[in-house]
């Protein structure tokens, strides 16, 4: 059964026909004897993959090419093999190998395996009364090397020279564990208990089937009850009388009763998610993001989140909203959950967090912008994941955002949310929906910035909208327009925002050029301490391209919230050092970010870009940081930004300690969700947090 | 087979073993029997050929002549005489006998039971190729090789214009496509055998390119379940290849059986005669056995249900023999009074349910089941005191048994073998579920105790001398406490252990291995007692009789053997399968043995006569599991195609098809009262099926029983009571405890 071997990657085998297969034929082609140990496995593999392909196409006989016969002949010292002999040989060899393969499959089946092993082929050879290939073992699946040269391509079996003393001197490996038996309950009176030994109750596909075709559901274990009941009523008989009865079972049985353990789990998780202990929260979120068995609790989580958002928006409890959004993110990260069914609860909650007029008690001080950003990104992610032609999530969301953005009476906060929500949907949306409105929006901002001061809140809002627009539009415009960036031209085209846009675009261009050189340069921006970090390309202030949504997991060994400013980081990979720079938006009045390097209380900082050899710098997965400020950096600063730059070991020794403003290559960072966290933990915000 | 050397026939065996009369035509039978006999160890060297059953029809003349020639050449005058005499007998006097006794025996089958050594080897060589024969067999075998193959293949030598083959075939195809719908499905059956034979003829006559073209043109038309065979076929492009290819030689030598209604057959015949399509007509005459029946032509689905085997369907006569599927009367055993009452009530209330699998639960009814074989049809071992104790235990347990049903599903306890590195190849539980044995790819056999009672060896002989043999607890005293452990390893095999089986009394363990032996192990000393040699090729499965003493084994050499533990030679040899025997099972009454094979058929053999009494076709892949229902009436089989088929043994009918598994089914087991069938598969699931419902649904239909043409309902989904998925552990063994708890075992693939 060839499909049992689909793990044989045909790519591996392409071209293997040119290898140095070594067969010598004796007895007038009567039997092919494998002369060089090991070589039979490869032709077998080759033929089997060929046969696998053959299965897909039609049946036709696959034979080894004659060139390999030549190569083999050469390798055993027979030069000038005639073409006819080659053809005859290759047919014979192919046939014999197929026979062996077929017999080997028998052994695999009886060995109750899905993988063919070399011992199966040995046994098949034994069956044919051929001496098996003793001692052919390999760590690798296909141990052949490829070489080409002189117009020939060869595959060969690499046998390294082994120094015996090395083997003698190496410590003995651990003795493998002995075979043992373990018993568990696969099912108890028809129900499969949810224990770690059993697979998660329902796979994503099953959940999907359940939600889309509720009448057809067959869940393992759980559904038994349902079908039995059906049978009891005689509903499932195939004939006509059964059909009318079958209609009785209209309503899908959803079995969402939670076991006591599940209830406990649910309680613990939800408490941890909104509780005060950050470590617990991280664990809880991690669990939500990875646990495969949450399917039954999903409706409860979903309700928890939507209700939570409803209540906390009214109460303006920023911290809790942030926690809830992080729960949404964790749910979305869980690959085993079929969320589609609960979008109707989750999406409104997320949208609320993006566009709500007020999300916190003190809009002038608290960083609700970060929450909006984060929620907007979540929204974009769910659009990407869940939008289909039937539910049209993306277009509906776009419409909602656009509509409220176009409304003159819309507040700055909502305005910001709408723009953020749209901008996160990608450059196309920016191009078609945001850029055309830049001039109008600019005028509106100008009115607030330069007009009579009505309220500080409006002003802050306008500033944020402005920086948001600049940030998102610059990179798109940089791609839309060709280089000579004329300030006047920008001004006429984009109005008030024109000049600023112009400078951002120019920065974006230089940045792009720089990136072209430094492909590998990356910065990490902390979004959340755990479980995820979002990675963004090092970008110009306000002009970084669309954020890359890639997420990397934080090694759990690292503690993220270091309380002391004096310890910058304990990088886990020893050869690499991190420099953590905290940048804080200095004065609240401008969005131009000034980089303040606060690493280790300013004792060491460096103009990183100059010392990093771009070619070798690699992305390092992490970082911990905390502004070296503590109470010093107080709530008066609305923003703190961090850039984490990893240095490869080669550069580590050459760190210069200079306190300076960075060159333009890294001038700022995007502010991410991580901030929210900081905010909520910081003294300024803690008054609102629930703990 | 090469080891078979010199195939000597043995007078002892002949008296003992009644070799199954030819079932599949001359060549195949030849080969099987040759192997069979020559394989018996320590056989004498009598050269005579002895029993011969020959039924001659004109088609066989040629073959017979060739055999005669061969015998003469080897100076086997006696054999020549006998054969000639038999061949000369009038046809009609032999025909009934042949058809009756031979399961699949065609009227024209010729059984040549014994052949002289050289001939045997030469026949064997068709399987192994001459070099293998040369390796061990006497040199003359090699010399004799050529002529014999010619004999076997001679039927292909007739020449037709190779270029016309395609025309013939497409002409027939066109004709069949245009006939009435009701006939089309039936006539389409001839496509596959015709295709194969035409292709083989082309290959045999060295028309390689025509053969290839023919294959490419028409292979796509064949039913998908023949794909495996077609792949083998596609590899075969030269006459030289044919010599060693078992599968196709079998195809050639055994007639492909088709069941066609008389109307359809007349239609086909008329067409072929009108068109002077002799090539095809010859093939139909020579290589096909058309089983004509009167009545309605069968529908496509009916045909599909039954086809798929290597050699077509079973002939109707093949399944006509009476099978005594009833259970034996249990010996009366004194039971504590209260238990007995309960038991008796149970029995009367539900007479059907008293079906024990191994140690049958005592059936107290005095009346003999009309379908049961007589008590001493085959000699069974006497019950020992310990057996009686065990029976009492069994009955006690049985009273606590949970009555299963669709609304009362069993619990499943899964035993996962850890750290086996996928080397677990066979598992068995004792009937009382106290021990688990595992066979491993590293040739070891391991036994675990799953109860707190540890495994202990018997003391050494010296120590045994010291104990007081008169004491009451002598059985306890002979055990050596120092050796107590939860598991024991037994070494002895030299290849992967593919089959394993506990004896009902838990004193012995059987294991069969790639090394060609079946070993009997003592569970008192944990040593090997006997190595039963005979198969010479990997032995895929073995099982103890439910009454102990006898056991059956089957393997790559395509024969199943019945052994008794105290004989080192087999008592019966069941030959007839066209490919490896992959699994073997004893009927609960111990009078029959079922074997499943890679030729995609299941055969049931009579232990008494050695005859094949049932042939079940319908599976589309090698059969890897079999299970008799506890009442002995039904058989369930599972194959690589992921389907479970249910069979009525008494009527020889297919009873149902259970679809759901997506991979090979390695294990099947009926619950103790036969209501639920559990199946375990490579697809990591255990499934439970409501077989009572399946049987009830079908039993209402009388017509099907009469004609044998069943209409299978596609109701697998309703019959499926539960699916339990493991994380990543294929299920390779299932076992119902006496109280109906389902135990499953497998090795984790993680």
Q: Which two tokens mark A588?
A: 């609240």
Better-predicted residue by pLDDT, A323 or B128: A323
Burial A383-407 (b: 16+ CB within 10 A, else e): beebbeeeeebbeebbebbbebbee
Residue A320, pLDDT > 70, answer yes
Q: Does A177 touch chain B (CB under 8 A)?
A: yes
Check B744 against A59: CB less than 8 A apart: no
Q: How close does chain A come to B212, measured CA to CA in Å?
A: 8
Two structure tokens written together for B309: 């085997």
Q: How far is A244 from chain B (nearest CA, A)?
A: 17
| Residues B6/B138, Cβ–Cβ less than 8 Å | yes
Q: In chain A, which residues have their Cβ closer than 8 Å to the Cβ of B2?
A: 129
Helix (H) or strand (E) holding B346: helix B337-349
User: Would the pTM of this model clear 0.80, i.e. be above it?
Assistant: no
């675009």: which residue's tokens?
Answer: A505
Q: Is the pLDDT of residue A668 over 80?
A: no
pLDDT given at position B18: 39
Measured between CA atoms, how close is A3 to chain B, in angstroms? 11
**With an 8 Å Cβ cutoff, is A240 touching chain B?**
no
Cβ contacts (< 8 Å) between B419 and chain A: which residues? 176-180
Phi, psi dihedral angles at A653 (to 5 degrees):
-75, -20
Chain A residues with CB under 8 Å of B495 CB are 123
Closest Cα in chain B, distance from residue A194 (Å): 12
What would the two tokens of residue A364 be? Answer: 């002038």
CA pair distance A617, A620, nearest whole angstrom:
9
Average of pLDDT values for B57-80? 71
B318, pLDDT greater than 50: yes
CB contact under 8 Å between A130 and B132, yes or no, is: yes
Q: How distant is the Cα of B130 from the closest Cα of chain A, in angstroms? A: 7
Which pLDDT value is given to residue B700?
Answer: 53
For residues B732 and B668, the answer to whether their CB atoms sit within 8 Å is no
**Contact between residue A589 and residue A467 where contact means Cβ atoms under 8 Å apart:** no
Residue A677: per-residue pLDDT:
36
**Residue range A297-315: mean pLDDT, rounded:** 87
pLDDT of B376-408, one tens digit each?
Answer: 888 888 888 888 888 888 888 888 888 888 888
Out of A26, A114, A186, the one facing B412 most closely (by C-beta) is A186
Q: Does residue B357 surpass a pLDDT of 50?
A: no
Answer whether A58 sits within 8 Å of B410, measured CB to CB.
no
CA B208/CA B192 separation, integer angstroms = 20
**C-alpha span between A141 and A204 (Å, rounded):** 31
Of A510-519, B478-487, B579-588, the range with the highest mean pLDDT is B579-588
As a whole number, the mean pLDDT across chain B is 76
Q: Which of A186, A235, A249 to mutate to test the interface with B (most CBs of B within 10 A)?
A: A186
* Cα–Cα distance for residue pair B15/B284, rounded to 1 Å: 38
From residue B142, alpha-carbon distances to A41, A227, B75, B118, B134 in Å are 29, 64, 18, 9, 6
pLDDT of residue B216: 83
Locate the chain A residue with the closest alpha carbon to B489.
A179
- Characterize B628-656 residue by residue with b for buried, 16 or more Cβ atoms within 10 angstroms of its Cβ, and e for exposed: bbbbbbbbbbbbbbbbbbbbbbbbbbbbb
Distance CA B532, CA A240 (A): 58
Q: How far apart are CA B560 and CA B583, in angstroms?
A: 9
Q: Residue B634 pLDDT more than 60?
A: yes
User: Is the pLDDT confidence value at B689 over 60?
Assistant: yes
Cβ-Cβ contacts under 8 Å for A268 (sequence gap 6 or more): A284
- d(CA A479, CA A477) in angstroms, rounded, equals 5
In sequence order, the β-bridge partners of residue B734 are: B744
Under 8 Å between Cβ of B626 and B640: no
Q: What is the pLDDT of residue B246?
A: 67
Of B234, B410, B724, the CB nearest to A59: B234
- Closest C-alpha among A64, A184, A173, A40 to residue A116: A40
Query: Touching check for A99 and chain B: CB below 8 Å?
Result: yes
Closest by Cβ to B411, choosing from A51, A107, A187:
A187
Is the CB of A552 inside 8 Å of chain B's CB atoms?
no
What lies within 8 Å, CB to CB, of B47 at 6+ separation is B8, B9, B76, B116, B117
- CA gap B46, B334 in Å, rounded: 52
Residues of A in contact with B425 (CB under 8 A): 110-112
Mutant choice from B235, B412, B434, B498 vs A, greatest count of A C-beta within 10 A: B235
**pLDDT category, A97, cuts 50, 70, 90?**
confident
Say how many residues make up chain A: 691
Split at pLDDT 50, 70, 90, the class of A620 is very low
Interface subset of A 60-89, CB within 8 angstroms of B = 60-61
pLDDT in the model for residue B624: 94
Separation CA A290–CA A334 (nearest Å): 5
Ranges A234-238, A526-530, B214-218, B589-593, most confident: B589-593
Q: Rounded CA gap, B130 and A26, in Å?
A: 11
DSSP code per residue over A220-263: TTTHHHHHHHHHHTTTT-SSHHHHHHHTT--S-----PPPHHHH
End-to-end CA distance of chain B: 38
Stronger pLDDT, B233 or B553, i.e. the higher one: B553
Determine which helix (DSSP H) or strand (DSSP E) holds A301, and give its type and residue range: helix A298-315
Question: Which of B2, B125, B126, B129 should be substituted to probe chain A, the one whose Cβ sees the most A Cβ atoms within 10 Å?
Answer: B129
DSSP A300: H
Q: Which two tokens stand for residue B738?
A: 């006496």
Cβ contacts of B245 on chain A, cutoff 8 Å: 99
CB contact under 8 A, B415 and A187: no
Greater confidence (A585 vs B478) lies with: B478
d(CA B124, CA B130): 9
Lowest mean pLDDT across A347-356, A635-644, B527-536 = A635-644
CB contact under 8 A, A99 and B245: yes
CA atoms within a 13 Å half-sphere pointing along the CA-CB vector of A122: 16
Give the whole-angstrom CA distance, residue A589 versus residue A265: 47
Region of poorest pLDDT, from A124-138, A279-293, A587-601, B116-130: A587-601
For the segment B563-585, what is each residue's pLDDT rounded down to a tens digit? 999 998 999 999 988 889 999 99
Average pLDDT over residues A241-265: 57
Output the pLDDT for position A207: 67
Position A138 scores a pLDDT of 61
CA-closest candidate to residue A616, choices A685, A541, A518, A515: A518
Q: Which residues pair with B257 in a beta bridge?
A: B289, B312
Mean pLDDT of A499-509: 82
CB contact under 8 A, A55 and B231: yes
Q: What is the mean pLDDT of residues B303-318?
A: 80
Q: Which of B134, B722, B739, B741 should we substitute to test contact with A (largest number of A Cβ atoms within 10 Å)? A: B722
Residue B542 has pLDDT above 90, yes or no: yes
User: Which residue in A has a C-alpha nearest to residue B749's C-alpha?
Assistant: A113
* CA terminus-to-terminus distance, chain A: 62
The predicted structure's pLDDT at residue A362 = 76
For residues A555-583, average pLDDT: 37
Q: Do A224 and B130 touch (CB under 8 A)?
A: no
Taking the CA of residue B30 and the nearest CA in chain A, the distance in Å comes to 20
Chain A residue with the nearest C-alpha to that of B137: A129
Q: Is B257 exposed, middle or buried (0-12, 13-18, 19+ CB in 10 A)?
A: buried
Question: A300 and A325 in contact (C-beta within 8 Å)?
Answer: no
Q: How far is B538 from chain A (nearest CA, A)?
A: 8
Find the closest chain A residue to B732 by CA distance: A112
Q: From the CA of A49, how many Å to the nearest CA of chain B?
A: 13
Whole-number pLDDT of residue A433:
84
Residue B538, pLDDT score = 93
**Residue B251 · residue B195 · CB < 8 Å:** no
- B42, B51, B38, B41: which is closest to B9 by C-alpha? B38
> Which residue, among A57, A90, A110, would best test binding to B if mutated, counting the most B CBs under 10 Å from its CB?
A110
Average of per-residue pLDDT across B273-283: 79
Average per-residue pLDDT for chain A: 64
- Do B744 and B450 touch, CB atoms closer than 8 A? no
What is the ipTM for the molecules in this complex? 0.76
- Residues A128, B128: C-beta atoms closer than 8 Å: yes
Size of interface A-B (CB pairs under 8 A): 207
Helix axes B262-274, B164-178, angle to 10 degrees: 140
pLDDT at B45 (0 to 100): 37
Q: Where are the beta strands (DSSP E) in B50-188?
A: 52-54, 110-112
Question: Which residue of chain B is at minimal alpha-carbon distance from A192?
Answer: B724
Rounded distance between C-alpha atoms, residue A503 and residue A488, angstroms: 12
């Amino acid at each position: 059964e060839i499909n049992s071997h689909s793990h044989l990657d045909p790519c591996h085998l392409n071209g293997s026909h040119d290898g140095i297969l070594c067969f010598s034929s004796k007895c007038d082609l009567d039997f092919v004897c494998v002369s060089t140990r090991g070589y039979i496995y490869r032709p077998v593999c080759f033929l089997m993959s060929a046969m696998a392909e053959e299965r897909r196409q039609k049946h036709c006989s696959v034979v080894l090419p004659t060139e390999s016969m030549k190569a083999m002949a050469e390798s055993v010292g027979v030069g000038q093999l005639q073409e006819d002999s080659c053809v005859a040989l290759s047919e014979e060899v192919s046939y014999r190998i197929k026979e062996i393969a077929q017999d080997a499959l028998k052994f695999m089946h009886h060995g109750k395996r899905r993988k063919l092993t070399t011992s199966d082929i040995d046994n098949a050879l034994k069956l044919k009364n051929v001496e098996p290939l003793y001692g052919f073992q390999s760590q690798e699946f296909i141990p052949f090397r490829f070489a080409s040269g002189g117009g020939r391509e060869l595959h060969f079996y690499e046998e390294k020279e082994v120094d015996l003393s090395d083997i003698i001197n190496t410590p003995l490996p651990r003795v493998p564990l002995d075979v043992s038996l373990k018993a568990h309950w696969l099912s108890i009176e028809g129900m499969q208990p949810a224990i770690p030994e059993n697979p998660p109750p329902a796979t994503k596909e099953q959940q999907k089937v359940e939600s889309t075709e509720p009448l057809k559901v067959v869940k393992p274990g759980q559904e038994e009850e349902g079908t039995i009941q059906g049978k009891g009523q005689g509903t499932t008989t195939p004939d006509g009388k059964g059909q009318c009865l079958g209609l009785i079972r209209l309503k899908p049985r959803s079995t969402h009763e939670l076991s006591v353990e599940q209830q406990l789990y649910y309680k613990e998780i939800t408490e941890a998610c909104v509780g005060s202990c950050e470590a617990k929260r991280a664990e809880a979120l991690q669990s939500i993001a990875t646990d495969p068995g949450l399917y039954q609790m999903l409706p409860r989580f979903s309700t928890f989140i939507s209700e939570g958002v409803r209540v906390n928006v009214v109460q303006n409890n920023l911290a809790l909203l942030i926690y809830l959004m992080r729960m949404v993110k964790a749910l979305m990260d869980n690959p085993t959950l079929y969320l589609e069914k609960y979008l109707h609860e989750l999406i409104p909650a997320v949208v609320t967090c993006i566009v709500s007029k007020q999300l916190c008690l003190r809009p002038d001080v608290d960083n609700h912008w970060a929450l909006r950003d984060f929620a907007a990104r979540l929204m974009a992610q769910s659009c990407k994941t869940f939008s289909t032609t039937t539910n049209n999530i993306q277009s509906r969301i776009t419409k909602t955002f656009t509509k409220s953005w176009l409304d003159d009476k819309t507040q700055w906060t909502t305005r910001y949310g709408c723009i953020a929500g749209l901008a996160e949907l990608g450059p196309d949306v920016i191009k078609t929906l945001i850029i055309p409105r830049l001039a109008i929006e600019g005028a509106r901002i100008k009115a607030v910035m330069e007009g009579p001061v009505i309220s500080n809140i409006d002003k802050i809002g306008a500033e944020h909208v402005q920086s948001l627009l600049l940030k998102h539009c610059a990179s798109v415009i940089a791609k839309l327009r060709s280089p000579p960036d004329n300030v006047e031209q920008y001004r006429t085209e984009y109005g008030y925002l024109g000049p600023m846009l112009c400078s951002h675009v120019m920065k974006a261009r230089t940045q792009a050029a720089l990136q072209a050189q430094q492909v590998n340069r990356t910065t990490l921006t902390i979004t959340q301490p755990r479980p995820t970090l979002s990675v963004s390309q090092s970008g110009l202030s306000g002009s970084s391209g669309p954020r890359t949504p890639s997420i990397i997991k934080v090694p759990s060994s690292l503690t993220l919230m270091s309380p002391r400013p004096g310890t910058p980081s304990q990088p886990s990979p020893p050869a690499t050092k991190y420099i953590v720079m905290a940048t804080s938006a200095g004065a609240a009045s401008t969005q131009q970010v000034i980089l303040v390097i606060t690493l280790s209380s300013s004792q060491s900082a460096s103009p990183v870009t100059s010392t990093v050899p771009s070619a070798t710098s690699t992305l390092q997965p992490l970082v911990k940081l905390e502004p070296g400020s503590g109470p010093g950096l107080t709530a008066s600063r609305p923003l703190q930004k961090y850039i984490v730059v990893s240095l490869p070991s080669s550069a580590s020794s050459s760190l210069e300690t200079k306190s300076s403003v960075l060159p333009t290559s890294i001038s700022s960072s995007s502010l991410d969700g991580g901030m929210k966290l900081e905010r909520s933990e910081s003294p300024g915000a803690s008054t609102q947090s629930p703990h | 087979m090469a080891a078979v050397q010199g195939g000597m026939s043995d007078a002892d065996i002949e008296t003992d073993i009644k070799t199954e009369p030819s079932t599949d035509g001359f060549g195949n039978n030849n080969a099987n029997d040759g192997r069979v006999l020559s394989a018996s160890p320590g056989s004498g060297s009598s050269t005579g050929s002895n029993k011969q059953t020959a039924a001659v029809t004109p088609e066989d003349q040629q073959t017979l002549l060739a055999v005669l020639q061969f015998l003469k050449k080897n100076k086997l005058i006696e054999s020549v005489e006998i054969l000639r005499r038999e061949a000369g007998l009038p046809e009609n006097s032999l025909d009934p006998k042949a058809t009756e006794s031979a399961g699949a025996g065609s009227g024209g089958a010729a059984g040549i039971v014994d052949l002289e050594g050289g001939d045997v080897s030469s026949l064997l060589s068709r399987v192994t190729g001459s070099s293998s024969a040369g390796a061990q067999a006497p040199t003359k075998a090699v010399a004799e090789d050529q002529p014999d193959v010619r004999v076997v293949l001679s039927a292909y030598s007739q020449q037709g214009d190779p270029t016309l083959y395609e025309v013939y075939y497409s002409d027939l195809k066109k004709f069949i496509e245009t006939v009435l719908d009701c006939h089309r499905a039936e006539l389409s059956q001839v496509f596959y055998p015709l295709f194969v034979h035409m292709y083989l003829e082309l290959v045999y006559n060295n028309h390689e390119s025509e053969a290839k073209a023919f294959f490419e043109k028409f292979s796509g038309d064949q039913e998908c379940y023949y794909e495996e065979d077609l792949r083998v076929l596609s590899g075969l492009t030269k006459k030289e290849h044919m010599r060693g290819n078992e599968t196709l030689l079998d195809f050639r030598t055994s007639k492909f059986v088709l069941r066609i209604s008389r109307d359809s057959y007349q239609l086909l015949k008329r067409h072929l005669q009108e068109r002077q399509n002799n090539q095809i007509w010859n093939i139909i005459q020579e290589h096909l056995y058309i089983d004509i029946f009167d009545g309605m032509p069968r529908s496509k689905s009916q045909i599909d249900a039954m086809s798929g085997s290597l050699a077509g369907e079973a002939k109707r006569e093949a399944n006509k023999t009476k099978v005594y599927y009833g259970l034996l009367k249990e010996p009366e055993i004194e039971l504590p009074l209260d238990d007995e009452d309960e038991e008796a009530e149970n029995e009367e209330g539900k007479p059907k349910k008293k079906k024990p699998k191994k140690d049958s639960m005592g059936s107290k009814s005095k009346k003999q089941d009309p379908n049961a074989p007589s008590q001493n049809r085959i000699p069974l071992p006497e019950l020992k005191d310990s057996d009686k104790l065990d029976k009492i235990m069994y009955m006690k347990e049985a009273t606590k048994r949970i009555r299963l049903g669709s609304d009362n599903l069993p619990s499943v306890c899964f035993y996962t073998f850890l750290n086996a590195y996928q080397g677990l190849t066979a598992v068995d539980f004792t009937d009382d579920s106290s021990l688990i044995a595992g066979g491993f790819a590293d040739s070891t056999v391991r036994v675990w105790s799953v109860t707190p009672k540890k495994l202990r060896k018997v003391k050494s002989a010296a120590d045994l001398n010291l104990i007081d043999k008169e004491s009451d607890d002598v059985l306890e005293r002979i055990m050596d406490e120092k050796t107590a452990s939860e598991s024991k390893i037994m070494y002895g095999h030299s290849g992967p252990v593919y089959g394993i089986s506990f004896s009902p009394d838990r004193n012995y363990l059987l294991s069969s291995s790639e090394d060609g032996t079946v070993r009997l192990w003592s569970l008192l000393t944990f040593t090997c007692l006997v190595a039963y040699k005979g198969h010479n090729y990997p032995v895929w499965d073995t099982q103890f009789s439910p009454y102990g003493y006898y056991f059956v084994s089957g393997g790559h050499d395509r024969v199943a053997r019945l052994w008794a533990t105290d004989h080192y030679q087999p008592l019966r040899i069941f030959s007839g399968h066209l490919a490896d025997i992959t699994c073997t099972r004893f009927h609960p009454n111990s009078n029959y043995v079922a074997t499943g094979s890679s030729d995609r058929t299941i055969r049931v053999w009579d232990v008494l006569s050695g005859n094949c009494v049932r042939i079940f076709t319908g599976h589309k892949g090698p059969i890897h599991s079999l299970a008799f229902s506890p009442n002995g009436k039904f058989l369930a089989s599972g194959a690589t195609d992921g389907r479970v088929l249910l069979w009525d043994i008494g009527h020889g009918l297919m009873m149902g098809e259970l679809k759901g598994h997506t991979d090979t089914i390695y294990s099947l087991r009926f619950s103790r009262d036969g209501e639920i069938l559990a199946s375990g598969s490579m697809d990591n699931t255990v499934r439970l099926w409501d077989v009572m419902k399946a049987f009830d649904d079908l039993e209402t239909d009388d017509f099907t029983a009469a004609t044998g043409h069943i209409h299978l309902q596609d109701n697998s989904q309703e019959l499926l009571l539960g699916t339990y998925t493991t994380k990543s552990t294929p299920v390779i063994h299932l076992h119902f405890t006496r109280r109906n708890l389902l135990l499953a075992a497998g090795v984790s693939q993680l």
